[in-house]
């Protein structure tokens, strides 16, 4: 048995630093790199790819809303055509740096409020999927399973990769608990590790509002901006490996 372990990274901007990318990368198998809209800048993108190349991990694009001040986590009134253009622009920007580095683009995973909207709004989901398909129809799209993002990507013929979040709370309907609500974030590394094992081995996890939620996962995400990201990544990896689950990319 195996699972991909991914981390959102490259989210610094200029002299403002965020995350522990250099320490995190050896613990994961793939990375989602900010493309300059919600975080990141050209030099940060280039340096992040250098770290990923040294660690031997796969690199994906992490496009979001153009919202540096809000870190891409604020809802924006962007219609489908604007979402399409924004995603295509960001994927192309990262792809240019990857080409120079001699590295392939491995996947695309939307960020923050853009990802969340695509889990409930079919036109937004379709715009994201169309941008990925038009860039490269063989490029996998990381999705929250059972949502419009998964459905629209598959309708357009894209390969989808089901994602789960051991350090985020789930509600009974299988959605991520809204940020700022009780239980939305898991900061205890050992609890996150137990949840990761539940997700991978048993296909379920406890909901913040009671009961158990079915989970389908091909990749597990660690948020690089979680203050406990490094400790969580270590605990999750160690717990999975104790259960003889290999960490490798899809």
How far apart are the C-alpha atoms of 217 and 143, rounded to whole Å?
10
How much is the pLDDT for 179? 86
Whole-number Cα distances in Å, 88 to 83, 92, 104, 129, 143: 8, 6, 16, 10, 17
Write the pLDDT tens digit of every residue in 191-206: 999 999 999 999 999 9
Q: What is the mean pLDDT of residues 99-115?
A: 98
Mean pLDDT score of the chain: 96
Q: Where do the DSSP E strands lie in the chain?
A: 2-9, 30-34, 58-62, 107-108, 141-143, 160-164, 204-206, 212-214, 219-222, 246-247
Three-state DSSP class for 162?
strand
Of the chain, the percentage scoring pLDDT greater than 90 comes to 93
- Domain of residue 171, CATH code: 3.20.20.370
Name the pLDDT band for 175 (thresholds 50, 70, 90).
confident
Q: What is the mean pLDDT of residues 11-34?
A: 96
Three-state DSSP class for 120?
coil
Write the pLDDT tens digit of every residue in 110-139: 999 999 999 999 999 999 999 999 999 999
What contacts 219, CB < 8 A, 6 or more positions away?
3, 4, 5, 6, 30, 142, 161, 162, 163, 164, 250
What contacts 95, CB < 8 A, 6 or more positions away?
61, 105, 135
Three-state DSSP class for 206?
strand
How much is the pLDDT for 209? 86
Name the pLDDT band for 167 (thresholds 50, 70, 90).
very high
The residue segments making up the domain with residue 36 are: 2-247
Please give the tally of structural domains in the chain: 1
Under 8 Å between Cβ of 9 and 222? no
Q: Which of 119, 135, 118, 136 is nearest to 127 (CA)?
A: 118
Name the pLDDT band for 210 (thresholds 50, 70, 90).
confident
How much is the pLDDT for 76? 96
Q: What is the mean pLDDT of residues 65-79?
A: 96
């Amino acid at each position: 048995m195996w699972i991909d372990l991914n981390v959102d990274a490259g989210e610094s901007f200029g002299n403002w630093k965020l995350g522990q990318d250099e320490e995190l990368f050896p613990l994961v198998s793939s990375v989602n790199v900010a493309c300059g809209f919600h975080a990141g800048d050209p030099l940060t993108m280039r340096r992040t790819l250098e770290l990923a190349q040294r660690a031997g991990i796969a690199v994906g694009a992490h496009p979001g809303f153009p919202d540096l001040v809000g870190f891409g986590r604020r809802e924006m009134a962007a219609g489908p055509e604007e979402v399409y253009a924004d995603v295509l622009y960001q994927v192309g920007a990262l792809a240019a740096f990857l080409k120079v580095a001699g590295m392939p683009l491995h996947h695309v995973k939307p960020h923050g409020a853009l990802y969340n909207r695509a889990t409930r709004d079919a036109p937004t989901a379709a715009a994201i999927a169309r941008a990925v398909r038009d860039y490269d129809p063989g490029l996998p799209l990381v999705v929250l399973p059972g949502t419009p993002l998964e459905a629209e990507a598959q309708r357009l013929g894209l390969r989808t990769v089901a994602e789960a979040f051991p350090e985020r709370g789930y509600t009974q309907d299988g959605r991520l608990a809204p940020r700022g609500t009780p239980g939305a974030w898991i900061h205890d590394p050992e609890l996150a590790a137990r949840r990761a094992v539940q997700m991978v081995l048993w296909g379920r996890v406890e909901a913040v509002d009671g009961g158990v939620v079915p989970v389908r996962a091909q990749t597990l995400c660690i948020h690089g901006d979680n203050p406990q990201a490094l400790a969580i990544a270590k605990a999750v990896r160690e717990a999975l490996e104790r259960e003889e689950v290999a960490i490798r990319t899809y």
